[in-house]
Structure 1
Amino acid sequence: MIFDFIVVGAGSAGCIVASRLSETGRHTVLLIEAGGEDKSFWFKIPVGYARSYYNPKVNWMYRTEPEPNLGGRRIYAPRGKVQGGSGSINAMVFVRGAQQDFDDWRDAGNPGWGFSDVLPYFRRLETHARGESPWHGGDGPIHVTPMRGGTHPLSDAFLDACDELGLPLNDDFNGATIEGAGVYDINTRRGQRSHSSTEYLRPALKRANLSIEREAHARRLLLDTDGRVSGIEVVQHGQVRRFAARREVILAAGAVDTPKLMQLSGFGEGTTLAAHGIETRKHLPTVGQNLQDHLCASFYYRSKKPTLNGDFGSLIGQARFGLMWLLKRSGPFAMSVNQAGGFFRGSPDEPRPNIQIYFNPLSYRIPDNPRAGLTPEPYPGFLIAFNACRPTSKGSVTIASPDASDAPLIQPNYLSTERDIAEVLQGSRLVRRIADARALDGWVAEEVSPSKRADTDAKLLDYFRGNSGSIYHLCGTCAMGAHPDKSVVDARLRVHGVPGLRIVDASIFPNITAGNINAPTMMVAEKGAAMILEDAARS
């Protein structure tokens, strides 16, 4: 079968790209997805993300290689394997990133990617509950809801503690500045997850010129004799199928599976490909390199007063929250578990906010069981989690074999720089300063872990090494830039030296953004789709 465009990956980016490319009706579009349809009730209800956390039916459930600076642990790296991708299984915090993050993209040799360039695409994808403004869109597909006004009283006490310490308060992390303490916005519409599968793809699938093939696992890209990418080969229900593209193939499989598919197809570092018996079709040494992620650890606290632990841990409490959601689409089930937090300078001499905090009026674990959901700690508790905004450690994603069914080797190299180690200590001290503030005196009974026994920098660092994990913001593995030896795609997201192939997902980030990366990934998709259509109109 022949289409004008083939989009590989129906995730946060791919759903948007497929929708926008099919919008005019001029082009035929095929969307390829390795997973199934996101029909389950648990994809709709915000708190239901915990049911996807260890579910192999909808989650690739990747793990890193042993991390030498984290005690040799293999860090869990969930990735969505379902229509909607990781946007179907994430915690929905909607943060664009700091303005300087995108100016850095531009200054790295990518004209058109500064903050003033990308803001219109952020606004285009958004309908904000407060309405249109210079910072927010008013009629975009993704609905963004502030949680302020519906949070637990403990979250208000957290904000009071930050204010007491002289930390700035911020009413809108997606406004003029990201710095300060506040309540997060989430992408929900009337208490239900609002993501690219629901808001972009489902309406678009009514168009005759857009098709989707689910449970179709991409094996390799197909090339013409002149080196142009001309299609994709997939395995679907045990059968090998091939689809052809007249114009372009667009990879939107994410920061792990996009570089994997590139390497399986002969695009990457030549010696690595040769070691697996793969012919090098184009030597691109940075395919799979430049992997970046936010590494996070939580401090657990016992509370003097009830928190969400009690209600989440009882059938009566869960029934009450469920009824609130069913009748009014409100309450804790309609929100992210990460209610408050912010972006702070870990020390006064930091030039910009470099530590992100999540404040959660619930302390919990997620057992390795897709039916378990959130399991609160057996006491009234809360947690404060933190990560560095712009870690400097970089890793890689590399194929393990020439077999597309084998998971790739993911090696983030967490805490491999002195800068990242210093920020662990900055973040740990900041968390404790906030927890020790008078505004939280009436709440904090004790620090359960790491506990006050962690009374030196060495002990705090040991705790972080032993208890930190990914916060699932993997990006950068097919980075955008001007030079083929140092990047994979150009500023129009075309793969260097490979006609007919683009990448439009989080793998193109030159540097990781401050905060959660789902919003900037969707922005990349909006901007990438616009560029593809512009180039098609000129050809």
Structure 2
Amino acid sequence: MGSYSPTLRSSYDFIICGGGTAGCVVAGRLAEDKNASILLIEAGPHNKDLENTHMVGGWSQNFDKETDWNIVAEKGSGIDGRQVKLSRGKFLGGSSGCNGTLAIRGSKQDYDDWGMPGWSGEEFFNYMKKAESFQNKPWFEASKDSHGYKGHLGIEPYDLAPISDLLIESMVSKGLPLDHDMFSHGNNPHGCGHAPRTHTDGLRTTGADFVTKKNARNNIEILTDAHVDKAIIENDNGSLRATGVRAVLADGTVVEVKADKEVIISGGAYCSPNILNRSGIGAKDELEKHGITTLVDLPGVGKNLMDHLIVFMFYETEKAGLTTDHLAYHGDALAKSYQLWKDEKKGFLSTFPFGAFAYARLDDRLADSEIWKSAPREEGRDPMGLTPKQPNIEFFTTECYGGPKQYADFPVDNKHTFSMIAELFGPRSRGSVSLPGKDPKTPPVVDTGYLTDPLGLDLEVLAEACRLGNEIVMEGKGTKDIVKGSWPADLTHHTYSTREDWKPYVKKHATTCYHASGTCAMGKASDPMSVVDEKLAVRGVKGLRVADCSIMPILHGGHTQMPAYGIGEKAADLIKEAWA
């Protein structure tokens, strides 16, 4: 092994496969035991010299290159045959180094609904809190007990641009009361507030911070630019046990390293299923297509893919000074913003230009919907499976123009834009992740399944969400008098009034919120589609766990960054407990 890395040993106590958000947390926490030896394997480069993972505003510059997994979904029948780019961070820290920095935990009921011992909302909120080091600002009315103050993840409130103050005024006037820290305490399904962000002092904080900087430890070896091929699984007195990992280095060299205690797979919802597949764990008929011997027939591997669909609605205003477009798109503004960040770690590029946020219940607005009224429901829950404690949708806004790659019609020439974004919670549609072949460097095959639920509930609710979001902008007290129209000008969504008006727009414009989850779902032994148990142990194999958002059996109503940290924290405690 020494010829491949100056310090790579033949064995470690724990090998973590994937240096993304959760994987870094697991490695960092296990390394708190000075006697433990840890190998953390990451497919991409180290993040130390990747400026766009530290400068918050540089997020999009990590995509469409070697720092992106470059996954493109299969054509989606529910979204007019479109293919959606599913960018994921491929470097140490993973998608925590290129996400929207949003620390939105969801509702406690979301995790209660998992029905798994040790994973209640109260317990899991505490794990998300454990990761956090919250830094308040004088204007922010924090729910102090909802935050952690000793973790490695720096979080702070975000100072809004003027357009966002106006949008909050509009939200309140349309029946969404202001509750400053509602996205941290998780007890309010209908209101507007501020979303704290994972950056402090002008720098993004990421999962990598758990294993670098002040948390660098000499009992962690970080092996970058190495794709995990498989967990090595051997017969151990009649039982299967994970005994090591096979990985492929950048020059094509194959290395095998022994795990004396455990292998932890943390490749994320798209990559973890394929690592299990290549290890001989998955649906037998699918593995046989690739000539892989099935060691454990687990049909749930790669199934149950969930994501939050979002729809952007952009608007133009002629009133200067409200949005932040002038700091990025007008003249040489971007160069000046970049220099300000380089010199002082301040300004437009020190933050992510999301603005005001809200949760909403839509019961009353969907009361006239035949699809909604006729859909089956459990007692005390709506057709999406949500209780009155859980929002149906989230609204978030941008303070300038911008989004995924297709949003490239930038407002130059002193134009000013902002957006309202509707996000669907409780999606009924499910997708899948499958193996493209045996090469670990080949991105997985992803069918997102967007808007394919047979009852049409996802489309119905998301169209209603867009309708309400548009009303907030066009009729709300703060914004009704400042909107010129839709942006780009050839869109006319600002004039839509009915749910049916919105449905074609949703099918044409709905895209990912990058909240993939569920493909190695946690569940009870009686559930044939469960992949891991409540200890995150892979069924049928000793010494093998999965720790990332793929284990989420039901997608929560929030953003996946904080759950990823919580899963990492919880996994580390479970592993420590097992080896105490």
Q: 1:374 to 1:4 in 2, by over 3 A?
A: farther
TM-score by length of 1: 0.93
Moved over 6 A (4+): none
Residue 334 of structure 2 corresponds to which residue in structure 1?
A: 318
Write the mapping of 1:140-289 to structure 2, written as runs, cut at 5 A.
Answer: 140-147=151-158, 150-172=159-181, 173-179=183-189, 180-205=191-216, 207-226=217-236, 227-236=240-249, 237-289=251-303
Q: Deviations over 1:219-248 (max 9, x none)?
A: 121112332111111110210110110111
* 8 A contact 1:347–1:426 mirrored in 2: no
CA 365–353 in structure 1, closer or farther in 2 if over 3 Å, else same? closer
Which of these residues, 310, 316, 321, is aligned with residue 302 of structure 1?
316
| 2:70 and 2:443 in contact (8 A); partners too | no
How far the C-alpha of 1:438 sits from its partner, in A, is 3.0
Alignment of structure 1 residues 56-135 onto 2, 5 Å? 56-105=65-114, 107=115, 110-130=116-136, 133-135=144-146
Residues 334-349 of structure 1: matches in 2 within 5 Å? Answer: 334-348=350-364
Q: After TM superposition, give the deviation of residue 320 of structure 1 in Å.
A: 4.4
Q: What does 1:41-60 correspond to in 2, within 5 Å? A: 41-54=51-64, 56-60=65-69
| Superposition deviation, residue 326 in structure 1 | 4.3
Map 1:362-381 to 2 at 5 A. Answer: 362-364=400-402, 367=405, 376-378=410-412, 379-381=415-417
Name the aligned partner's letter for residue 339 of structure 1: G
**1:419 correspondence with 2:457:** yes
Equivalent residue, structure 1, for 2:517: 475
Classify the secondary structure of the residue corresponding to 2:146: coil
Q: Name the CA distance, whole Å, in 2 between partners of 1:118 and 1:49.
A: 28
| 1:466 alignment partner, one of 508, 513, 524 | 508
1:445 Cα deviation after fit? 1.0
TM-score when scaled to structure 2?
A: 0.87
- The C-alpha deviation readout for 1:122-141, integer Å capped at 9, x for no partner, is 22111111389321111211
Does the 8 Å contact 2:268/2:549 carry over to 1?
A: yes
Paired with 2:19 and 2:544, the residues of 1 have a C-alpha distance of: 17
2:160–2:355 Cα contact (<8 Å) kept: yes
Distance 1:328 1:441 in 2: 37
CA-CA distance at 1:319 after TM superposition: 4.4
How far did 1:456 drift? 4.6
- The answer to whether the Cα contact below 8 Å between 1:366 and 1:375 also exists between their aligned partners in 2 is no
Cα distance, 1:97 vs. partner?
1.3
1:336 & 1:59 partners in 2: Cα distance?
19
Range with bigger deviation, 487-496 or 309-318? 309-318
Deviation for aligned residue 1:332: 2.5
Shift of 1:451: 2.7
Q: Larger deviation: 387-396 or 170-179? A: 170-179
CA distance in structure 2 between the aligned counterparts of 1:65 and 1:316, rounded to whole angstroms: 39
| Contact 2:337/2:347 (8 A) holds in 1 | yes
Aligned to 2:373: none
Structure-2 separation of matches of 1:366 and 1:176? 28
Give the secondary-structure state (helix, strand or coil) at the position aligned to 2:579.
helix
Distance 1:442 1:249 in 2: 58
Mind listing any 5+ residue stretches in structure 1 that lack a counterpart? Answer: none
| Uncovered stretches (5+) of structure 2, i.e. residues with no partner | 1-9, 137-141, 368-381, 383-387
Q: Write the distance in 1 (CA, Å) between the matches of 2:45 and 2:337.
A: 29
Secondary structure at the aligned position of 1:170 is classed as coil
Change (3 A) 1:199 1:178: farther
* Map 1:475-514 → 2, pairs under 5 A: 475-483=517-525, 485-514=528-557
The residue type paired with residue 415 of structure 1 is L
Change (3 A) 1:450 1:503: farther
Q: Say which SS state the counterpart of residue 519 (structure 1) adopts.
A: helix
Residue 114 (structure 1) shift: 0.4
The answer on 1:395 being equivalent to 2:431 is yes
The answer to whether the Cα contact below 8 Å between 1:300 and 1:450 also exists between their aligned partners in 2 is no
Whether the 8 Å CA contact 1:362–1:376 is kept in 2: the answer is no
Task: Compute the displacement of 1:174 (Å).
Answer: 0.3
Matches of 1:86 and 1:450, distance apart in 2: 34
Task: Name the SS for the 2:485 alignment partner.
Answer: strand
What is the CA distance between 1:337 and its match in structure 2? 1.5
Counterpart for residue 23 of structure 1: 32
Which is worse superposed, 154-163 or 173-182?
A: 173-182
Q: Which moved more, 1:3-12 or 1:412-421?
A: 412-421
Q: Give the CA deviation at 1:316.
A: 4.0
Q: How many residues align?
A: 526
Separation in 2 of the partners of 1:303 and 1:506? 39
C-alpha distance in structure 2 between counterparts of 1:323 and 1:30, whole Å: 38
- Give the residue type in structure 1 aligned to 2:184: N
Aligned residues of 2:24 and 2:210 also touching (Cα < 8 A): no
Q: In 2, Cα distance between the equivalents of 1:247 and 1:415?
A: 42
Contact 2:106 2:186 in 1 (8 A): no
In percent, how many aligned pairs have the same letter? 29
Displacement of 1:469: 0.9
Residue 132 and residue 19 in structure 1: after superposition, are their counterparts in 2 closer, same or farther (change >3 A)? farther
Cα distance in 1 for partners of 2:224, 2:492 equals: 44
Preserved contact between residue 242 and residue 543 of structure 2 (Cα < 8 Å) = yes
Measured in 2, the distance between the counterparts of 1:311 and 1:406 equals 38
User: How far apart are 1:35 and its partner, in Å?
Assistant: 0.5
Greater alpha carbon shift after TM alignment, 408-417 vs 527-536: 408-417
SS in 1 for 2:30: helix
Q: Which moved more, 1:289-298 or 1:127-136?
A: 127-136
Deviations 1:147-188, CA, capped at 9 Å, x for gaps: 1xx211110000000111121212011025243212221001
Q: Secondary structure at the match of 2:229?
A: strand
Q: C-alpha displacement at 1:301, in angstroms?
A: 0.6
1:341 is displaced (CA, Å) by 1.5
CA distance in 2, matches of 1:522, 1:530: 13
Contact 1:313 1:375 in 2 (8 A): no
CA RMSD of aligned residues (A): 1.9
2:548 matched to 1:527? no
